[in-house]
Amino acid sequence: MKIGLVGCGHVGAASAYACILRGVGTEMILVDCSKSFAIAQAEDMLHATPFSNPIPVHGTDDFKALEGAGIVMIAAGVAQKEGETRLDLLKRNAAVFENIIPKILDVSKDAILLIATNPLDVMTQLATHIAKQSHGLPSSKVIGSGTILDTARFRALLAEHLGVSSHSVHAHVLGEHGDSEVLHWSGANVSNINIYDFATQVNAPITNEIKEQIDNNVRNAAYKIIKGKGATWFGIGAGMARIAQAIIDNEYAVICCSTLTKEVTGVKNVCLSLPRIISEKGIENTIFPELSSEEEEKITKSANIISSAVNEILH
C-alpha cells in the first residue's frame, strides 16, 4: 500500500522512517510546503533502504503525488514550545488542517488519515469534521495516534519495575493525549494476572509511591523530553508506523488511539483514546474497558476538556 506523509519535520520524518525500517507500505511519498526539504528528507531515508526494506521514497510539495495512497499521515503544523500545553497549540494549527485536508482528499478520497499533530485529540476531531464536510469521509477513517505512545510509556515503566518484558504487560492510558490522560491501573495485568497480584509474586509491590512515580513519568514525559531536546519524535514515529501496519495487514489489532466517539461516560461526540479494533477499513470497533469510579470521573473530566477545546474552534 502506498503511504503519504504531509509535514516532514521531526515527527513526520520519524513516522516515515519507522515505516521504512518496519517494512510498512510499498511506497512512501513525503509532502512538505518546502519542496527542497521534502526531497532532502526523502533522499536521506532512501539511502537507509539497503539496510532495511527496499521501499521507494519520494519528496515533493505537490499534493497530487498522494494520488492512490491508502494511508496519509499528517504531521503538519507548528511545533510545541517548552512549557506550552498541547491545547495551547489549537488555534495555531487549525488553519493548517483547513488548508491541507481537502487537498489530500481531492487526490486520494478513500485514504485513511492518521493524525499526529498536537493538540492531538482536538486536531483529530477537527480533521474528522473537515474531511466529512469536504469529502464525506467517515469518522472511522480518521485516526489520531492518541495515547498509543503514552500507553507504550506506561507499559515500559511497569515492565521496568516488575522486571519483565514490556511485551508481556497489558495496560492502557485512556482519554486525552495530554495533561488529563488517565492511566488505567484497574485494568492493568501481566499475562492475564492482575498487576498488583503479579507485583506481589515477583516481590516488586506497587505502592502508592510507585504509582505516583510511574504516573508522573508517563504524564510528564513529553515535557521532560521537550526541555532536553526541543521536541519528541522517535516514540510517536514508531507508534504511527504501528497503526499503519495494523491497517495494511488487516490485523484487527486492538490499539489505544483516538477517533470520534459517540459517547463516553455521558460526554457525546468527542475524540479521545480508548482501545480500538483496527483493520484495513480503519476503526472497526471501540472497546469500553471497565473503570473504577475514580477512573470514570477522570475520563469524564478529560473528555470535557477536549470537548470544550473543540467547541472553541468549531462553534
The pLDDT of residue 86 is: 58
Q: Torsions phi, psi of 262, nearest 5?
A: -60, -40
Decide: 244 and 237 in contact? Cβ < 8 Å.
Answer: no
Q: Residue 170 — pLDDT band, cuts 50, 70, 90? A: very high
Which residue in 10, 129, 172, 177 is the catalytic one?
Answer: 177
In whole angstroms, what is the distance from residue 36 CA to residue 301 CA? 44
The pLDDT of residue 299 is: 97
In whole angstroms, what is the distance from residue 176 CA to residue 298 CA? 10
CATH class of residue range 2-144: alpha beta
State mean pLDDT over 122-134. 96
Interval 136-148: pLDDT, tens: 999 999 999 999 9
pLDDT exceeds 70 at position 304: yes
Q: For all residues of the chain together, what is the average pLDDT? A: 95
Q: What is the residue extent of each domain of the chain?
A: 2-144, 148-314
The pLDDT of residue 82 is: 73
- List the single range of 121-125, 139-143, 223-227, 277-281 with lowest mean pLDDT: 223-227
pLDDT exceeds 80 at position 197: yes
Decide: 271 and 144 in contact? Cβ < 8 Å.
Answer: yes
Interval 255-265: pLDDT, tens: 999 999 999 99
Interval 74-110: pLDDT, tens: 999 876 677 776 567 777 788 899 999 999 999 999 9
At 180, the amino acid letter reads: S
Q: Residue 133 — pLDDT band, cuts 50, 70, 90? A: very high
Q: Is 177 a catalytic residue?
A: yes
Interval 230-259: pLDDT, tens: 889 999 999 999 999 999 999 999 999 999
Pairing of strands 173-174, 71-74: unpaired
Q: Smallest Cα–Cα separation from 14: which of 270, 285, 311, 225?
A: 225
The pLDDT of residue 238 is: 97
Left, alpha or beta for 212 (phi > 0: left; psi -120 to 50: alpha)? alpha
In whole angstroms, what is the distance from residue 3 CA to residue 43 CA? 16
State mean pLDDT over 168-178. 97
State mean pLDDT over 113-135. 95
Q: Residue 313 — pLDDT band, cuts 50, 70, 90? A: confident
In whole angstroms, what is the distance from residue 217 CA to residue 279 CA? 31
Please list the alpha-helical segments (H only) found in the chain.
10-22, 35-46, 90-107, 120-135, 148-162, 195-201, 208-219, 221-229, 234-248, 293-314
Decide: 119 and 97 in contact? Cβ < 8 Å.
Answer: no
Q: Smallest Cα–Cα separation from 190: which of 160, 159, 157?
A: 159
The pLDDT of residue 83 is: 76
In whole angstroms, what is the distance from residue 262 CA to residue 260 CA? 7
148-314: which CATH topology? L-2-Hydroxyisocaproate Dehydrogenase; Chain A, domain 2 (3.90.110)
The pLDDT of residue 285 is: 98
pLDDT exceeds 80 at position 40: yes
The pLDDT of residue 79 is: 67
The pLDDT of residue 205 is: 97
Q: Smallest Cα–Cα separation from 297: which of 180, 210, 200?
A: 180
The pLDDT of residue 219 is: 93
Query: Which cell goes with 70?
Result: 491508502
